[in-house]
Amino acid sequence: MVDYLNIFFLETYKIMLLILPVLTAVALIVWLDRRVWAFVQKRRGPNVVGPFGLFQSLADALKYIFKEIIIPATSNKIIFILAPIVTMTLALIAWAVIPFGKGIVLSDINVGILYLFAVSSLGVYGIIMGGWASNSKYPFFGSIRSAAQMVSYEVSIGVIIINVLLCVGSLNLSDIVMAQEKMWFIIPLFPMFVIFFISALAETNRPPFDLPEAEAELVAGYQTEYSGMMYAMFWLGEYANILLMCAIGSILFLGGWLSPINIYPFILIPSPIWLIIKIILLFLLFALVKAIVPRYRYDQLMKLGWKVFLPFSLFYVVLTSSFLLYFDLLPGN
């Protein structure tokens, strides 16, 4: 019995050691997001609460905690309450397989990439539940838009990942990182990295693909009827997903925790720091796109996903497999 308790407390400690930094990082990247927009638009951004405005996200969180949670009288109350919980939970459990270094991972499973793909695919359920349970047409339209959008771009992301798996021969995320010791996959698979980045914007409902919560047409999208901490949970789930996509992009194409230069003093920097730096760099690109690129129309969004990205990704799979086969570079040969 004591052994089971020790295992339980040890696993709980490891989970908290992962979740708490992720939640803290979410608060910090919201601040960074707003600072980047302000820089591009030549204004100050958050700069009053705390040094450089760093405590602005904490102030916003406290505001959400003390705001009243209002549940519409005509809504499906159980599903209405479950929707933000599902969204935030799925966004957090996906981090279980993200390796921050050799052996520094909560769960080093052999099908890590499939686990990530499955969990990210389930994320749309929280949005659909929230939109439908609100019993209001605007949230429902926003949730339907999100479902179509996420399904469309998940197909492209799945095909892009196949290119990486062909080069590695393993579904384990640590193996994918170690396969990039000599050369990061962003060099031979650069077109796939570009498509992955754009698809990640659509997958996480980021501008210019934020159609599910387009304020001009849908008030605020699928979370229109939410308030207080329930709204904040949608917000936490969204930014945790953005960080997750940045982490996946870093692992698949930028060498994960590997140092870009294996010389002194770069080799002295701990491996988790390198992964964090790459995640931040990718997130800066996310923030710049939001500040610079205008929103797409919905028909343009669907056309880009199905008529451009999917055919090109399939063509690149054939190209990659043909190249590896011709030069006898397939893993295991």
Number of domains in the chain: 1
pLDDT at 1: 52
Backbone angles phi and psi of 136, in degrees to 5: -140, 140
pLDDT at 222: 80
pLDDT at 291: 84
CA distance 209 to 131: 18
Cβ atoms 296, 208 nearer than 8 A? yes
Measured from the Cβ of residue 24, the count of other Cβ atoms closer than 10 Å reads: 11
pLDDT at 213: 66
- For residue 256, pLDDT beyond 80: yes
Q: Is residue 40 part of a domain?
A: no
- Domain span at residue 103 reads 68-326
Using the 8-state DSSP alphabet, how is residue 330 labeled?
S
Global confidence as pTM: 0.91
Cβ atoms 258, 181 nearer than 8 A? yes
- For residue 219, pLDDT beyond 70: no
pLDDT tens digits, 49-78: 888 888 888 898 889 888 888 888 888 889
Q: Is residue 187 part of a domain?
A: yes
Amino acid at 77: K
Q: Is residue 237 part of a domain?
A: yes
Q: Is residue 31 part of a domain?
A: no
Average pLDDT over residues 4-22: 82
CA distance 79 to 130: 7
- For residue 79, pLDDT beyond 80: yes
Average pLDDT over residues 232-247: 90
Q: Is residue 10 part of a domain?
A: no
Q: Is residue 116 part of a domain?
A: yes
Ranges 169-178, 214-223, 301-310: which has the least confidence: 214-223
Cβ atoms 277, 309 nearer than 8 A? no
Average pLDDT over residues 98-124: 86
Q: Is residue 23 part of a domain?
A: no
Q: Is residue 45 part of a domain?
A: no
CA distance 122 to 241: 12
Measured from the Cβ of residue 156, the count of other Cβ atoms closer than 10 Å reads: 26
Q: How far is CA 21 from CA 29, 33, 270, in A?
A: 12, 18, 17
- For residue 187, pLDDT beyond 80: yes
pLDDT at 139: 83
pLDDT at 2: 55
